[in-house]
A and B are shown apart, each in its own frame.
Chain A
Amino acid sequence: MDYSLLFIQFLNGLQLGVLLFLLASGLTLTFGIMDFVNLAHGSFYMVGAFICASLTFWTGSFLWGVLLAIPLVALVGLATELIVVRHLYRRDHLDHVLATFGLILVFDTLVQMIWGAAGISVPLPQWLDGQVTLPGEIVFPTFRLMIIGGGLLIAAGLYYLVNHTRLGMLIRAGASNRTMVGALGIDIKTLFTGVFALGAALAGIAGMLISPITEASIGMGNEIIITAFVVIIIGGIGSMKGAFVAALLIGLIDTMGRSFLDDIFKLAMSTEAAETAAPAVSAMLIYILMAIVLAVRPQGLFPPKVR
C-alpha cells in the first residue's frame, strides 16, 4: 500500500466532507428547528457561486469576491424566507417539497436569465492556484488545503455559536421543542428568519469554495443537495455535531471508494469485471451507509436530545 497516496486521498476526502458540512449544516438547522424541508437549499449554493464569480471578476480578487458575496447570499436567503418560506411552516411536508421544488426552478431560471446557460469559470489568485509540499514529499493543491482549513474554522465557529451563545441556546431549544420556546416569549419568527439566512450563507460559502475547482453552473446545487440530505439523515436531523461527523464520514467514504475500490475488487474478480463494478458500487457506497444507519439507528447517529 502506498501510504502517501492514502494520505492524499484522506485529505481529498476531508475536503469533500468539509464542503458537505457547510451545505448540510444549514439544511439540518432549517429541518431540525423549523421542521421545514428545503429542497431549494442547493439553490443558495448555486447563487453563492454565481454572485462570487461576478464579484471576483468585478473586484479582480477571489477573496474579495467571497467576502462580499457572503452577506449578499444571506440577503437572498432572508428575502426567500420573508417572501415564500415564512408562509409554509404551518403546512405539511408535502407542501414544503412542492413549494421548494418550485423555488429550484425559479432560481435556476433566474440564474440563466442573469448569467446565461454557459456557466462561469472562477479564476484563483496565483498564490492559491499552486501546490504546497507537505512533510513526506506529499504535494497537495493549495486551494484544497485552504478549503479544509476554512471549513474547519467555520465549523469551530458554528460549534461556539450553537453551544456557547444565547442565540445558540435558542437554536438548540428550538430543535428540541419549538412550541415551548415560543411559549416562553421568544420571538420565534425572527429566530427562524435569522437561522434561515445563516443556513443560506453557509450553503453559499460552500458554492463559492467549489466554484474555482469546478465552475459556477446552473443546477450545481441540485446535484449535491441529495448528498447533503444523506448527511443529515445519517447525522441525525437537527444535530450540528451529527452533520459534522456524517459529512466527514461521507466525504471520506466516497473518496476512498473512488480511489481504492477497483483495486480491492481486482483481488476477487477479473480486471474487466472490477472495472465495470467498481464505479457502480462506489457511486452507491454512501447510500448503502445510509441504509445501514437507518436500519440500526433510524434517528441518526447524533439525534437532538428531546424531540
Chain B
Amino acid sequence: MHIWKPISAAVACASLLLSSSLASAADSVKVGFVTTLTTPAAVIGNDMKDAVDLAMEHIGGKMAGKPVDLIMEDDGFKPEIGKQKADKLVKQDNVDFVAGFIWSHVLLASRKSVLDAGKFLISANAGPSPIAGKLCHENFFSTSWQNDQTPMAMGEVLNQKGVKSIYIMAPNYAAGKNMVAGVERTFKGKVLGKDFTKWGKDAQLDFSAELAKAKASGAEGIFVFYPGKAGGAFIKQYTQAGLEGKVPLYTVFTVDAIALPKLQKGGLEGVLGTENTQQWSPDLDNAANKKFVGDFKAKHGRYPSFYAAQAYDSIMLIKSAVEAVKGDTSNMDGMRSAMKSANYESVRGKYTYGNNHMPIQNFYLRKVVKDADGNWTTKITKTVYTNHQDVYASECKM
C-alpha cells in the first residue's frame, strides 16, 4: 500500500507536466535563450537580455498572434553548462528555437544537442569557423558574423592606412585563434609578434609582459581581440605603458558599449579616437536601428552593445519565421525558408544569408567619439566591406 502512494503521485505529477507542456506547445511559441548571466561576463549577458526584453516589448510579446514563451538560461561562461542548458531547453521545455550564445566554445559544445533534437539554433554572437564550414547545418542561423570576418575587415583597414607591421594579442581559445587568422588573412604587412594569453575562468588580465614585448618589437600598430572585462583592462594598461600616441591600437570586439562607459568613468581618454571594425554601430541610419537604440537608451540610460543589437535581431528573425507560417511552428521547412530570406527589419540594415546561413553583410570602420551629451560611443567613419561573405562558406556542403 505504502509503496503505491508515492508512485501514483509521481505518475500524476508527470502526466500533469506532460499535458501542460503539450498544451502550451500548441498555443505559444517557445524560445530558449542561452547567454552568460553569472560571472563577470554577465555584463554581456545582461546587455543581451535587456535587448531581448526590449524586442519582446516591441512585438507585444506575440508572434503571429501567439504569445511568446521566453526561457532565459545561464551558461555560466562554461561549455559544459551551456550544453546542459541546451539539453534542458530542447528536452524538458520542448522549445521551438534555441538562440543566444556569446562564446564560441559554448556554442560548439551545445550545437549538437539542439540540432539533433530537430530544433532551430540561432547564434546571436558566436561564429566559430567549423559552424560556418564543415559543421554547417540547415537548422542553424546566425544573426552575427563568422569570427574571421570582423578582423579581416580590420586587416583591410590596416592595408589602406599603409601600416607596415603589427603586433598581435588575443586570448587562447577558439574565437581568439579565428580572430588572429582573420587579420592575418588580409593584412599584407609583417606580423612582428603574436601572443595568445590564458583565457577562461582564470583568464590572464595583466598584460605587462606582452605589452613590453609589443613595444620592443617596434611594430607600427597593435591589433587585439579582448572581449568583456579583459578589454577594459587591456586599454588601461596600454595607456599606462605609454603606448598611446606612439603605437596606435586597432581592435575588434574589445572597445564596445560595454567597455566604454567604464573606461569613461575611469577617465581613460586614450581610447578616444581609436578605431575598430564591426557590422553594426549605434549611429547606423535606418528606421529599425533608430527605434532600437532610442528605446534602449530611454529604458536603460546607456548605449546598447553589438551583442544587444544581435540579440534583438535574433528575436526579430524568429518572429519573421513564425509569421511566415502563420504561427504553425511544426512547419519547419516553411520557417527555414522564411529565415533564409532574412525578410525582417534588421538593425544593421538589409542583409542576406549565404549557403551556410551566415549573414552576407557590410562591415564598417568605427571611431570612438564623444556624443552630444558627452558620453563615449562609436561612430561609423567608413564602409570597409560591402556584402562580405565569410571564407568558410565554400567548405559547407549545403
Residues of A whose CB lies within 8 Å of any CB of B are 2, 4-5, 8-9, 12-13, 15-16, 117-124, 129-131, 139, 141, 143-144, 210, 212-215, 217-219, 222-223, 226, 255, 258-259, 262, 275, 279-280, 283
A259–B195 alpha-carbon span in the complex (Å): 9
Q: Nearest-CB distance from B25 to chain A (Å)?
A: 33
Q: Nearest-CB distance from B4 to chain A (Å)?
A: 39
Given A121-B263, A143-B240, A218–B43 Cβ distance below 8 Å?
Answer: no
* Per-residue A-contact encoding for B202-227, CB less than 8 Å = 1, 0 else: 11011011101100100000000000
Find the B residue at minimum CB distance from A131.
B242
With a cutoff of 8 Å between Cβ atoms, the chain A residues found around residue B213 in the complex are 5, 259
A84–B216 alpha-carbon span in the complex (Å): 50
Q: Is the CB of A9 within 8 A of B212?
A: yes
Q: Nearest-CB distance from B177 to chain A (Å)?
A: 9
Q: Is the CB of A214 within 8 A of B205?
A: yes
Find the B residue at minimum CB distance from A56.
B266
With a cutoff of 8 Å between Cβ atoms, the chain B residues found around residue A212 in the complex are 236
Given A5-B213, A259-B212, A214–B233 Cβ distance below 8 Å?
Answer: yes
With a cutoff of 8 Å between Cβ atoms, the chain B residues found around residue A215 in the complex are 229, 232-233, 236, 262
* Per-residue A-contact encoding for B183-196, CB less than 8 Å = 1, 0 else: 00000000000111
A120–B267 alpha-carbon span in the complex (Å): 12
Can you list 20 A-B contacts (CB < 8 A)?
A8-B216, A13-B209, A16-B206, A117-B43, A118-B262, A119-B43, A123-B267, A129-B240, A141-B208, A141-B237, A144-B208, A213-B236, A218-B40, A219-B201, A226-B202, A255-B208, A255-B209, A279-B198, A280-B172, A283-B198
| B42: Cβ under 8 A from any A Cβ | yes
Q: Is the CB of B233 within 8 A of A213?
A: yes
Which B residues between 227 and 251 are near A, CB-CB below 8 angstroms?
229, 232-233, 236-237, 239-242
Chain B: residues with Cβ within 8 Å of the partner, total of 38
Q: Is the CB of B232 within 8 A of A121?
A: yes
Given A117-B40, A213-B206, A279–B195 Cβ distance below 8 Å?
Answer: yes
Given A130-B242, A219-B40, A279-B198, A12–B267 Cβ distance below 8 Å?
Answer: no
Q: Is the CB of B43 within 8 A of A118?
A: yes
With a cutoff of 8 Å between Cβ atoms, the chain A residues found around residue B38 in the complex are 117
Given A123-B267, A213-B233, A226-B202, A279–B196 Cβ distance below 8 Å?
Answer: yes
| B197: Cβ under 8 A from any A Cβ | yes
Q: Is the CB of B195 within 8 A of A210?
A: no
A214–B261 alpha-carbon span in the complex (Å): 15
